[in-house]
Structures are given as C-alpha cells and as structure tokens.
Amino acid sequence: MLFRRIVLCALLIGALSGLVLSAVQRWHIIPIIDAAERFEQARTPPVVPAGGDALAHGHTGHDHAAHEHPIGAWEPAEGAERIGFTVLSNALTGTGFALVMLAVMVAVLKRHVVTRIDWHYGLLWGAAGYVVFFVAPALGLPPEIPGAEAASLEARQLWWVLTAVCTALGLAGAAFGKTPWRWAALALLAVPYLVGAPHPATNPFADHPPAAAAELGNLARQFVWATAFANGLYWLVLGSMSGWMVRRFLKKAVD
C-alpha cells in the first residue's frame, strides 16, 4: 500500500514539475539554443545523402556539443510533437527524482530523524537537490550551448557523477550525522574540484570568426543563467510538492 502511494504521488509530482520546467524551457532556454544553432549551421556544410537532398537540422533539447546526427536518424518533428516529447522527458525525469525524494522522506520519518515533513520542509529538500544535481556540477562544467567545443563525453559524465555523489554525501552527512564531527562531511564538497573538471584545451568557440565567437560567448552566459533559473524553479516545485504529498497522503501509512 505504501509503495503504491509513493509511486502515484511521484507520478503526479513528476507531471507537475515537468510541465513547469517545459514551460520555462520553451520561453527562456529554447530561444537561446535556436540562436546558437544558427551559428553552428552557418559554419557546417549541409549533409547531402545519396539521393541529393540536404538534411534539415532542427534544434533539440539535448547537448549538441561534439554531436552529429547520423543520416536518417529519427528526430521528433517541430511543433507539437517536439513539445510533447520534451514534456514527457521532463515529466519522467521528475518522476524519477520524486521517487527518490519521497522514499528518503518516508525513511527519515520512519527512523524518527524528523517528526514533521510538509511543503516548507520540502523546499529545503528541493534546494538540496538543486545544489546536488545542478549547482555543484555547473560550477565545474557550466551548461553548454550548441557549437561549443567540450571535453570528451565520458570524462564529463564521470566528473558529473563524482560531483553529485560527493555533494549528496557531504550535505547528508552534515544534516543527519549524529556526531560532533558531522560537519567534516562538508569536506567532500571540495573533492571534485580538487580532481578538476575536464575542459577542452582551446577556447570553446575558437573555430568561429571573432564576431561570432563574441556573440556565442554572450549566448553561453545567457544560457547558464537561464538554465540555472529553470532548474531552480523545477527543484523547488519538486521539493515542495514532495513534502506536501508526504504530509497529505503518506504520513498516515508510515505511522
């Protein structure tokens, strides 16, 4: 019964947080991606398949750095189809995060680590999720716009995982540790930056003309702030809704 309630609550939270994130992306992030892709397309010759027709290349919501679409690769069509897949992807991601957050909230209630969880408390959890999954990784590897040169994908993924794990363990140890030394867990936050984030050897826009490189640099800064705002709002909605769901639908099953 408790497991089913957690899953149903996570689905509702994922749907709401996914809609919020998709709306912010649509109005504040996609226009920046579109502008950056115009520079990318201007310096990339069209790919002509055997039949002679150039492939049209539209924007996508994923990382374009060092990424090429193979000939004939499927992409959602512009318009309602692309928007629908974006919302679905964000909702599924939100559901996954909500499952983890709800499970941990229920666990700390069962162990009497805390006695009350509501939407106010959920805001703190949402803020912690924002720090773990966006702020800490972005300090070393800021979000990248299309056309930016980057280090290898595997190196970036490994560093991202290291950063998220160290940040989560450091915050959890400081928040829930029982010994006077629990604050020493915060030292884990520095580990990824001592290791160092992987970066390309050259300027991310070195292969663009100076004027285009300057404009892309400006777009890159806008992109970082836009994604920071979108993810912050996303995590606050996810956290507050999780706290409210625990108090409204799950606490009785825990008691």
How confident is the model over 207-236, as pLDDT tens digits? Answer: 888 888 899 999 999 999 999 999 999 999
Q: Is 179 left (phi over 0), alpha (psi -120 to 50) or beta?
A: beta
pLDDT of residue 54: 38
The answer to whether the beta carbons of residues 151 and 143 sit under 8 Å apart is: no
Type and span of the H or E element at 71: none
Contacts with 68 (C-beta within 8 Å, 6 or more apart), sequence order? none
- Give pLDDT tens digits for 162-208: 999 999 999 999 988 888 888 899 999 999 999 999 998 888 888 88
- Is the separation of the CB atoms in 239 and 129 below 8 Å? yes
Spans in the chain with pLDDT lower than 50: 50-71
Instruction: Please state whether the predicted TM-score (pTM) of the whole model is above 0.85.
Output: no
**Conformational region of residue 52, where left means phi above 0, alpha means psi within -120 to 50, and beta covers everything else:** left
H/E segment holding residue 178: none
First to last CA, the chain: 13
Distance CA 54, CA 61 (A): 22
